[in-house]
Structure 1
Amino acid sequence: MIRFRFTLTPLGRVAPWGHEDRSLHWFGLTDGWYWIELADHELLRYSPDPLRRTDPTPQRPYVDYFLARLWEDLIEMTPAVLEPVPADLLDFVAGDPGVWRSVDSDAASTAAVWWDGHTLDLGYLRQPPRIRAWRTVSDDLDVVTVTWRHDDDGDIRFTAPPSGRVVISCELFLAAVRRFDHELMTAMERRIRALERSGPPNGVHLDLKQLRAEHAERMTWLARGLRRVPRTDWTAVRAGAMELRQGLTVRE
């Protein structure tokens, strides 16, 4: 089981952007908390003690950021995840780049970029876990493997184990992406309608026509993203993977 969960910040508590010229927009209105339910785990749920050190009065124990960022990055990542990984590259896609050789070549760069395309971008967070996913297809199998790893330095901790791996059907993964998109678009539709009735908060610039137009355009993002087919140069990826892993005698 996998589900991308979230709660939006109540509309009256969404902080405008800027100081003198305060404004709001679609991205800013997605302020909230989010996490990922994966099997029996909650990824991106902070442990209580380190959380209190960084935020003495946390409202929720989850990532506190703009939902738009997770949504955009998931749409960007999904086409790469849905492209089946050839059997001879499974060790590479599941491996640790920390053990790669330092190689300066076009093939190595291509392989590294392909590997990174299976990683959910959480670089905007402090000490984030590395969450990755890839698809495996065979005669009687069509699954997505989701892995995570967090190097705990004692400052930021999560409730999930430091590392783990869960295998789910590709159908379930895609359904979870679609559900997240639907739930976020529905929540933002309600938010926009409320603002259209009440008008922008006092002293805050918010172009309601632009907000409505942007929402309509963003509602097409997932469908367009799913139509995007990666043009992977498998020859280059294989050559680069061999260069990066040359000399390794054990599986990472």
Structure 2
Amino acid sequence: MIRFRFVLTPLGRVVPWGHEDRTLHWFGLTDGWYWIELADHELLRYTPDTPGQRPYVDYYLARLWEDVIEMTSAVLEPVPADLLDFVAGDPDAWGPVNGDAASTAAVWYDEHTVDLGYIRCPPRIRAWRTVGDDLDVVTVTWRHDDDGDIRFTAPPSGQVVIPSDSFLAAVRRFDHELMTAMGRRIRALERTGPPDGIQLDLERLRAEHTARMTWLARGLQNVPETDWTAVRAGAIELRRG
């Protein structure tokens, strides 16, 4: 089981962007905190002794939502059997990324990773699909290198295998829940108007929300055009060290 969970910051507590010209927009209005439920684990939940942190990652939901949509088409592309060791491997053991093939393989590898570079000492969360006889699953792995300050409640590393349909259903649910929550937030602002002293173009906000409601459907139409020959050659170079 996998589920992308979140809580939006109450509207009255959302901090505007800027100092003199204080503004709000769709991205900024997604301020909140979030985590990933995966089997019996909560990924991105901090331990109580982690200083200065809420229980979960405190950032804009738009960022996680955009990154999940962007990676989903790559995750759902089945990985050839001879590349499973590479996609499951540790890039810290690679040699330098020199040449086109190595670069292609490294980019393909990164496309299966949730981009969490905006938080301090993030875990590395990855996912890929395996298809075979009576088998169609997505493997989700995580790894966190404890820096002595930032700690999460999940084990330092782990792996959960789920049906591919369950992964896609979780992405669709995340999209639906965020779009629904943001729709309510926008309707509230349309009734009350922007807070005093805050610049907010409500027509533009509504138009952007309407456009973003199509992002997942359009993203799922993107069919990866993976150059498997280049990925295989690059994987050999990188793992050779």
TM-score range, shorter chain: over 0.9
Point out where structure 2 has 5 or more consecutive residues left out of the alignment: none
Query: In structure 2, what is the equivalent of residue 136 of structure 1?
Result: 130
| Corresponding residue for residue 26 of structure 2 | 26
Aligned to 1:46: 46
The percent identity for this pair of structures is: 82
TM-score by length of 2: 0.99
Paired amino acid for 2:49: D
Distance 1:62 1:54 in 2: 11
Q: What letter is aligned with 2:211?
A: E
Listed as ranges, the matches of 1:33-182 within 5 Å are 33-50=33-50, 53-55=51-53, 58=54, 61-182=55-176
Amino acid at match of 2:37: E
1:183 to 177, 194, 198: 177
For residues 104 and 157 of structure 1, what CA distance do their matches in structure 2 show? 34
**3-state DSSP class of the match of 2:49?**
helix
Scaled by the length of structure 1, the TM-score of the pair is 0.94
| 1:223 lines up with 2:217 in the alignment | yes
| Aligned equivalents of 2:97, 2:63: Cα separation in 1 | 32
Mapped contact 2:143–2:157 kept (Cα < 8 A): yes
Deviations along 1:167-217, whole A, 9 cap, x unmatched? 000000000000000000000000000000000000000000000000000
CA contact (8 A) 2:97 2:106 kept: no
Distance 1:206 1:103, change over 3 A: closer
Where 1:195 maps in the other structure, the secondary structure is helix
Write the letter of the residue equivalent to 1:22: R
1:15 equivalent in alignment to 2:15: yes
Aligned positions of 1:206-217 closer than 5 A = 206-217=200-211
Please give the secondary structure, in 1, of the residue aligned with 2:19: coil
Q: Which runs of 4+ in 1 moved over 3 A?
A: none
Deviation at 1:79, TM superposition (A): 0.5
**CA shift digits 1:23-49 (9 cap, x unpaired):** 000000000010000000000000011
Aligned-partner Cα distance in 2 for 1:98–1:133: 18
> Residues of 2 paired with 1:21 and 1:103: CA distance?
44
Q: Distance in 2 between matches of 1:85 and 1:203?
A: 52
Looking at structure 2, the residues matched to 215 and 243 of structure 1 have their Cα atoms a distance apart, in angstroms, of: 44
177-186 vs 100-109, greater mean Cα deviation: 100-109
Q: 1:245 and 1:127 mapped to 2: Cα distance?
A: 25
The CA deviation at 1:105 is 1.1
Aligned letter for 2:146? D
Unaligned 5+ segments in structure 1 are: 248-252
